[in-house]
Amino acid sequence: MTTPPRLEVQHLIRAFDGLRVVDDVSFTVAAGEVACLLGPSGCGKSTTLRIVAGVDMQDSGSIFVDGRLICDTVFRIPPERRAIGLMFQDFALFPHLPVSENVAFGLPGGFATNRARVGELLERVQMSNHVDSYPHELSGGEQQRVALARALAPKPRVLLMDEPFSGLDERLRDGIRDDTLALLKEERTAVLLVTHEPDEAMRMADQILLMRAGRIVQQGAPYNLYNAPVDRRAAAFFSDINVLTGQVRGALTDTPFGQFLTPGIPEGHAVEIVIRPQHLKIDFHRAGQGPAPTAENGTAALARVTRARYLGSESLVEFATEMGDIALTASVPGVFLPPAGTPMWLMLRRDRVFVFPKI
Ligand SMILES: Nc1ncnc2c1ncn2[C@@H]1O[C@H](COP(=O)(O)OP(=O)(O)OP(=O)(O)O)[C@@H](O)[C@H]1O
């Protein structure tokens, strides 16, 4: 018999005032896996999480933990008996309790009878030196580490995290995220994490569930979402994009960069050709000559620099094609600041181009 997923959500629907904010959402999370619900503000991420936590009720759909039904529209296990831990942005530590008692809060018998488990977790989150400190004596990052230890103390099968790192400054965040991830993997907890930040999802997730208007529009490994987005908006969620427009003629579309296949898009339909700035290739203008077309990069098109900016680890160079009608941005590692007006040849890495029907 195959092992059931640690968390399984089936056909969840939740409407407010007749409007579905969670619209037929289904997914599974395995033990030791981190799944990120990712999407813009208001797309239904937190509502989905709240229903799994048991603090909101779905209109229809079922939730299972390790194959056991914990909630549908007629049956409901109360939140505290679901073996589900919570770590929310505003889920503050208890100010009147020291770190030790905060971590032991969900354990029968408190700190006195759970010294070993509390000690082990505090060591794992590098807070062993703060057992007797009170929350107000800790920095934001330290409080976050204690909150993680508290959430994991009762060994939940599933941990729900809602924007747990958003209160931390950026440099602190990376370290805490990585430490958190390592601990979650060690504990084999299934994690459902809500975030609106693509970088956070890429960094944390084994599986991204990309949501839009209550629906999951794409799910899969971060690599797949980045490199095979389902549509223009999914592509644009992970980075800036360049968009060329065209029209289908004989299963192809013409652009200044050569022809592109338009599989499955009807004849005459408008298409959008999408490419990320780092996949635009630049070549120098040598006495009017451009690079010869290649299978990898297609045809080069002449363009002029309109603006160049240095951002630290990369430079962003903006171009207008020779006809002046297409604006494109290239990202170049390091310092590359050609003056405005410089002519250059641009090519698109053909294996990194996405062709979508224009909606
Ligand atoms: N109790 C409620 N009553 C009415 N509308 C609600 C309620 N809870 C959520 N909504 C609405 O449902 C939609 C989805 O909200 P939700 O909090 O799930 O979005 P989200 O994707 O988590 O957004 P954010 O990232 O801003 O938290 C929003 O339009 C919100 O206003």
- 38 CB near ligand 1 (under 6 Å): no
Residue with CA at minimum distance from ligand 1 atom 9: 47
How remote is the CA of residue 74 from the centroid of ligand 1, in Å?
A: 24
Q: Judge if ipTM > 0.85.
A: yes
Whole-number Å distance between alpha carbons of 201 and 193: 8
Residues 109 and 174 in one domain: yes
The number of distinct structural domains making up the chain is 2
- 47 CB near ligand 1 (under 6 Å): yes
Q: Please report the pLDDT score of residue 112 as a whole number.
A: 81
Q: Please report the pLDDT score of residue 209 as a whole number.
A: 98
Q: Please report the pLDDT score of residue 240 as a whole number.
A: 94
Give the full edge-to-edge strand order of the sheet including 242-247: 242-247, 270-275, 354-357
Q: Please report the pLDDT score of residue 91 as a whole number.
A: 63
Residues 95 and 124 in one domain: yes
- 16 CB near ligand 1 (under 6 Å): yes
Whole-number Å distance between alpha carbons of 279 and 275: 7
**Ligand 1 mutation target, pool 12, 13, 14, 16, most atoms within 8 A of CB:** 16
Q: Please report the pLDDT score of residue 140 as a whole number.
A: 83
Per-residue pLDDT of the chain (359 residues; tens, 9 = 90+): 688 999 999 999 999 999 999 999 999 999 999 999 999 999 999 999 999 999 999 999 999 999 999 999 999 999 888 889 988 876 678 999 999 999 998 888 888 888 999 999 999 888 999 999 999 999 888 888 899 899 999 999 999 999 888 877 777 788 888 888 888 888 889 999 999 999 999 999 999 999 999 999 999 999 999 999 999 999 999 999 999 999 999 999 999 898 999 999 999 999 999 999 999 999 988 777 788 888 888 899 999 999 999 999 999 999 998 766 789 999 999 999 999 999 999 999 999 999 999 98
How remote is the CA of residue 195 from the centroid of ligand 1, in Å?
A: 13
Residues 119 and 13 in one domain: yes
Q: Is 2 among the domain residues? A: no
Residues 195 and 69 in one domain: yes
Q: Assign residue 259 the CATH number of its domain.
A: 2.40.50.140
Residues 258 and 227 in one domain: no
Residues 209 and 270 in one domain: no
Burial 71-94 (b: 16+ CB within 10 A, else e): beeeeebeeeebbbbbbbeeeebe
Domain end position, chosen among 207, 231, 255: 231
Q: Please report the pLDDT score of residue 72 as a whole number.
A: 94
Residues 130 and 73 in one domain: yes
**Ligand 1 mutation target, pool 23, 47, 165, most atoms within 8 A of CB:** 47
Residue indicated by tokens 């299963």: 251
Q: Is 121 among the domain residues? A: yes
Residues 164 and 299 in one domain: no
Q: Is 68 among the domain residues? A: yes
- 43 CB near ligand 1 (under 6 Å): yes
Q: Is 1 among the domain residues? A: no
Q: Assign residue 89 the CATH number of its domain.
A: 3.40.50.300
Q: Please report the pLDDT score of residue 324 as a whole number.
A: 61
Q: Is 159 among the domain residues? A: yes
Residues 17 and 82 in one domain: yes
Q: Which domain holds residue 118?
A: 7-231
Residues 56 and 177 in one domain: yes
Residues 225 and 310 in one domain: no
Whole-number Å distance between alpha carbons of 268 and 311: 41
Packing angle, helices 170-187 and 140-152, rounded to 10: 10
Residues 118 and 216 in one domain: yes
Q: Please report the pLDDT score of residue 90 as a whole number.
A: 63
Domain end position, chosen among 182, 205, 231: 231
Q: Please report the pLDDT score of residue 218 as a whole number.
A: 98
How remote is the CA of residue 37 from the centroid of ligand 1, in Å?
A: 14
Domain end position, chosen among 231, 254, 275: 231
**Ligand 1 mutation target, pool 45, 88, 197, 210, most atoms within 8 A of CB:** 45
Q: Please report the pLDDT score of residue 69 as a whole number.
A: 96
Beta-bridge partner residues of 331:
316
Contacts of 46 (CB under 8 A, 6+ apart): 162, 194
